[in-house]
Amino acid sequence: MKIKNFITFEGGECSGKTTIINEIVKMFDEMKISYIQTREPGGIKIAEEIRDIILDINNTMMTPECEALLYAAARMQHLKEKIIPNANMGKIVLCDRYLDSSIAYQGVARGLGIDKVLNVNSFALDYLPDLTIFIDVLPEVALKRLSLRDKTDRLDLENNEFHNLVYKGYHEAIKLYPDRIKVVDGNQPLEDVIKDCKKIILDYIGE
Ligand code: TMP
Indicate which CATH number applies to the domain containing 47.
Answer: 3.40.50.300
d(CA 40, ligand 1 centre) in Å = 7
State the total domains in the chain: 1
Predicted confidence band of residue 159 (pLDDT cuts 50, 70, 90): confident
* Residue 129: pLDDT over 90: yes
CA of 183 relative to ligand 1 center, distance in Å: 19
| 14: region left, alpha or beta (phi > 0 left; psi from -120 to 50 alpha) | left
Which atom of ligand 1 lies at the shortest distance from residue 155's CA?
A: 10
**pLDDT (tens digit, 9 = 90+) per residue, 82-95?**
999 999 999 999 99
The pLDDT value recorded for residue 112 is 98
Mutate to test the pocket of ligand 1, among 105, 121, 152, 153 (most ligand atoms within 8 A of CB): 105
pLDDT of 146 reads 81
Does 97 sit in the ligand 1 pocket, CB within 6 Å?
A: yes
* pLDDT given for residue 3 in this prediction: 55
Domain range enclosing 94 = 2-205
How many CB atoms are located within 10 Å of the residue 41 CB?
A: 24
How far apart, in Å, are the Cα atoms of 34 and each of 5, 94, 112, 151?
A: 11, 11, 38, 35
**Segment 15-32 mean pLDDT:** 96
Rounded Cα gap, residues 102 and 114, in angstroms: 9
